[in-house]
Structure 1
Amino acid sequence: MHVMKSMFQRKPPILSLRPEFHSQCSLTNPQVVCNSSSTREEFMMKILDRRWTLKNPDTKVHQINVSRLQTQPTSKLLGNVSFSNNSHPSLGENLTEWHNDQSSFYIVRDDLLHPLVNGNKARKLDALLPLIEDHLGTDVVTCGGCQSAHTAAVAVSCAERGLKAHLLLRGEQPQILTGYNLISMLYGNVTYVPRSVYAKREEMLTSHADSIPGTIIRLDDLLKSSFTNHKSTKSNLDQPSNSKKIVIINEGAGDAIALPGLIRLVKYLSQDHILGKSQPIKIVVDSGTGTTAVGLGIGALCLGLPWEITSVMLADTIEGYRKHEEHLISELCGSSGFPIIMHSGLVHWVEREHPRKFGNVLKGEIEACQQIAKETGVLVDPIYTLAAWELASQLSQQEKKGGAKVVMLHTGGTLGMFGLAQRYKSYF
């Protein structure tokens, strides 16, 4: 069973954050090669004409106002600023208007999609789960950390569809189950795996899938079939069978089959009454595997949008992220038969402002999350979404009148705060 090697290596990043922007998703970018607009439109039709997990791609968009305080310089993580939330901002044509001199950025509230399956986890599973159903899949095998939002999302989504989720969690079972760890246990079948075994993810996942009597369905086969039989339903493929059919999903769902859900989100946001197609946009997103950022970049490219995708690297080196980007593009185009994107360069990868080993929390970050929650009602976490919030806040203060608008994609994951409270008691 071939499984793409995970890019989620947790190597400490090496670059410094550069808040300035360089266009990486322009149709004239020499790193990106596109075919004609008609070919891109045909590709988008193939991507979007399918069954989805989410009944519709709708999401809320809020506006975060950033105010600089007239006080002495502070050592606070977010600096001398305060925030406020406009939950009903003017969008569409009014997006281009400059209402006042106050800095602001927009935030796509994908954290509100589902109580337990939200953010980029919901988007990554958007196209995948119907394909598993179409191919009569019965079991799903995946893995993640003890407080993995991904494994919890897979467990809940599978349970809602009558599928059995097998979750391989790294390390030992905590004394008290909380957050995503608790959700994974309630909805899925959890096995705790020693770190030495977990380090070889591909071998671990394949071995566990082999231990389940049945047939393994390859993810790349599902992806290819989605471009040939993308309208198929369970009734089309229903054949009597007593054997189980097992699908392996890599850590973080960092495979090309996760990309259509992000492309669908871009299509939704580019509607005239939301962000539109003509306003320059700077999309900011935090990245574990980097799959979300690549999906956004492909969507913006194929729709011809003047959007720039910047991704804050959290779990790998820039070389690792670029390699993963190239792999995803190659896999998607190879499976679809549309050689639209020939090279990488869709995403501008940047380091987080406060580098650290992945999973660690630094002093002041919990207080920063608390400040944001109290002032805006938006909950971010210090591992992932706080990094995107910091960069979006910085870029919004550099925004010029009539220039690009800054938009942060909230990737969810906030239940992870429960696990952090267990590990970092002195910070809470």
Structure 2
Amino acid sequence: MKLQRLPITMSRGFHSHAHLPRGPQGISEAKLGCEEFLVKLLDRRWTLVSPDTKIQQIMLPPERIKDEDGPLKDKSWFNMPNPLLGDQITDNSGPDSSFYVVRDDLLHPLVNGNKARKLDAVLPLLEDHSVTDVVTCGGCQSAHAAAVAVSCAERGLRSHLLLRGEQPDILTGYNLISTMYGNVKYVPRSVYANREETLKTHASSVAGVIRLVHYLSQSHLLGKEKAMKFVVDAGTGTTAVGLGLGAIYFGLPWKITAVMLADTLDNYRERERRLISDFKRHFRFDLDHALREIDRGVVNWVERYHPRKFGNVIKGEIEVCQEIARQTGILVDPVYTLAAWELASLLSEKEARGDAEVVMLHTGGTLGMFGLAQRPDKNQGKYRPDQHIK
């Protein structure tokens, strides 16, 4: 067994074997030109064969029913599965508002899209260092733990998952997948709370998201010229920071807005600052020329329409997810991706006659719907969403 915790500054083993020598190659301390840096960043082995993802357009009718219960009350949507892109993206000059959905939820049947992007550059790096076993941790319904278990098994690596709390009576959702693909050990909450910060978000997990930005910015897709307002739900915030870094580095007129779900604004900003610092140090490259406004951050962090303690589901949200699925064929979950859908819908109304297109990055979360079945019922003082699915 070979277990290895990779230092953040390690830069060997990144590059594509098809284009570069097999021997160790560090990145020069000297400042690299933009094109050279792009090669250093993207020319490597990846977990995903291609960065491709599907883009769909959601149309909203001009009539708006304002309701204090939420932004999606009595709304309707229509999915255009093959919209015009590139130079054919139409200006928002008509009466209908719309937003685009980047369907990263379709990347893998069991791995969330944001997890697949984060692992895109990481797993080949582990293989290059002959790692045989990977240890990680998370909650009982951790999408991260499930993604690591599935992705490691697909590449012949063994995963060891330390899950917080007790084993559920019924295994379902991400917990079931983690158990099927990985070696699970349940850790008492008191012990887990005092653990060393095992999972640190580092620069290599941002690289996969920047690869996505590079793909989406191609002229036949979203292009590099038109203003875009990207919306993403934020757990750790890594995906949002990766989008922001990519947009600024490539000089794209894209604004990234992340809906805060699991932490405070100060903590998200601190994690953003640390990720950017780690990214610069990881690749030993001074990005200040590209990130001139770095002190103001690369992400606009906003509260959810109805703020709540992380993981809580408000009555009526399951029904909204149900209507979205029935009308568009797109499944969102009430904990994560519904928050991004809400904001994208609101922004699309504001931009109906504006200059920017609204784009939601769908990060996945399908298996999270199954995990909701483990919630206590409302007779115990908590809302049980599965009782309201018809």
Question: Could you tell me how far apart the structure 2 residues matched to 1:202 and 1:258 are?
Answer: 20
Structure 1: state its 5+ residue gaps.
5-36, 206-249
Matched with 1:184 is 178
Contact kept? 2:92, 2:352, Cα under 8 Å: no
- The aligned runs of 1:5-404 (5 Å cut-off) are 39-69=33-63, 75=69, 78-98=72-92, 100-202=94-196, 205=198, 250=199, 254-341=201-288, 343-344=294-295, 345-401=297-353, 403-404=355-356
Q: Which moved more, 1:37-46 or 1:341-350?
A: 37-46
Q: Tell me the TM-score normalized by structure 2.
A: 0.85
Give the CA RMSD over aligned residues. Answer: 2.1
* TM-score, normalised relative to structure 1: 0.78
In the TM superposition, what whole-angstrom CA distance separates every residue of 1:21-49 from its partner, at most 9, and x where no partner exists?
xxxxxxxxxxxxxxxx9733332221101
TM superposition shift of 1:304: 0.5
| One-letter identity of the residue aligned with 1:338 | F
Cα distance in structure 2, aligned partners of 1:116 and 1:399: 34
Counterpart contact for 2:97–2:352, Cα < 8 Å: no
Q: Structure 2: which 5+ runs fail to align?
A: 8-30, 376-383
Structure 1 residues 176 and 347: alpha-carbon distance in aligned structure 2, compared to 1, 3 A threshold = same
Cα offset, 1:73, TM superposition: 5.1
Which residue of 2 is the match for residue 411 of structure 1?
363
* Alpha-carbon separation, structure 1, partners of 2:138 and 2:67: 40
Q: Which amino acid aligns with 1:118?
A: N
Secondary structure, counterpart of 2:300 in structure 1: strand
**Offset from partner CA, 1:207-263 (integer Å, 9 cap, x none):** xxxxxxxxxxxxxxxxxxxxxxxxxxxxxxxxxxxxxxxxxxx1xx73222000000
Question: Alpha-carbon deviation of 1:195?
Answer: 1.3
Taking the aligned partners of 1:70 and 1:325, their CA distance within structure 2 comes to 36
Post-superposition shift, 1:71?
A: 6.5
Structure 1 pair 70–308 and aligned structure 2 pair: CA distance change class (3 A): closer
Distance 1:74-1:315 versus aligned 2 partners, 3 A rule: closer
Is the alpha carbon distance of 1:201 and 1:388 closer, same or farther for their aligned partners in structure 2, counting shifts above 3 Å? farther
The alpha carbon displacement at 1:96 in A equals: 4.0
Q: 2:149·2:182 contact (CA, 8 Å) conserved in 1?
A: yes
2:387 corresponds to: 426
Shift in Å, 1:359: 1.1
In 2, distance between residues paired with 1:286 and 1:73? 23
Change (3 A) 1:155 1:300: same
Instruction: Give distance in 2, aligned partners of 1:263 and 1:125.
Output: 13
Given that residues 311 and 349 in structure 1 are in contact (C-alpha distance below 8 angstroms), is that contact kept between their aligned partners in structure 2?
A: yes
Residue-pair matches, total = 349
For residues 38 and 150 of structure 2, the distance between their equivalents in structure 1, rounded to whole angstroms, comes to 29
Q: CA deviation at 1:99?
A: 6.9
Take 1:192 and 1:38, find their aligned partners in 2: how far apart are those partners?
Answer: 46
Q: Deviations over 1:180-230 (max 9, x none)?
A: 110000000001111112223426x4xxxxxxxxxxxxxxxxxxxxxxxxx
- Give the conservation status (yes or no) of the 8 Å contact 1:65–1:85: yes
Q: Which of structures 1 and 2 has the larger relative contact order (alpha carbons within 8 angstroms, sep 6+)?
A: 1
- Report the 3-state secondary structure (helix = DSSP H, G, I; strand = E; otherwise coil) of the residue aligned with 1:81: coil
Asked if the contact 2:65–2:73 (Cα under 8 Å) also holds between the matched residues in 1, the reply is no
Identical-residue share of aligned pairs (%): 64
Deviation per CA, 1:257-289, whole angstroms, max 9, x where unpaired?
A: 200000000000000000000000000000000
| Aligned equivalent of 1:27 | none
Q: What are the superposed Cα offsets for residues 136-186 of structure 1, whole Å, 9 maximum, x if unpaired? A: 001111111111111111000000111010111111111110111100000
